[in-house]
Chains A and B, each alone.
Chain A
């Protein structure tokens, strides 16, 4: 089993849609969780950290369920500029492990 697993994608959605990505992790001792965004042929950049109580940043909401070892990212009112690959990242035993990523394509 991979340490961090994500929905396979790609997700093709119209502008204005709400889309949710899921991620599961295997190391129950993990303490830090993040969502990164990677545009085509670019390096990943931090989208948001994920806190135990859940957190929101504008149209983006991240949730953490420690009992189920599950992280989610919700994007509301999606924009064309949201098209990218979304990477789930988990701190597993000190090192940061990336999921394979979920590709999102927002269409007009």
Chain B
């Protein structure tokens, strides 16, 4: 597609339920990022995929959070046993990498707004 697509755009869930968020990056983009943004806060790095390398999971806040990516395509972020503090906008971004102009420039999706009641 022309841009980064995220779904669902809004999700309301009950505390303790699992949720799955999906990201479709721009075709050809080898890098994919997940960030979390709480209301009025900055972007908090969660996880980074680069091609077929092992993902950088250093930003995942707890073992309730996990993410997968199939090759250089779709990624899913899963939050198990959701807590109220998980309420936030989850932003996905993709980029191409390398030495050329425009590398490492992130294009963001519109985000998935998660509300945990």
Contacts and interface: CB of A to CB of B under 8 A. Distances in A.
B56 A98 contact: no
Contacts of B109: 43
Contacts, number: 46
Given A87-B42, A101-B42, A95 B106 contact: no
SS class of chain A's interface: helix, strand, loop or mixed?
A: strand
B50 interface: yes
Contacts of B50: 94
Interface string B90-117: 0100000000000011101111000000
Interface string A60-95: 000000000000000000000000000101010111
A37 to B, nearest CB: 12
Interface in A14-50: 32, 34, 36, 42-46, 49
Which bracket fits the contact residues of A? 20 to 34
A87 B33 contact: no
A43 B91 contact: yes
Nearest to A43: B108
A49 B43 contact: no
Interface of B: 33, 35, 41-43, 45, 48, 50, 56, 58-59, 91, 104-106, 108-111
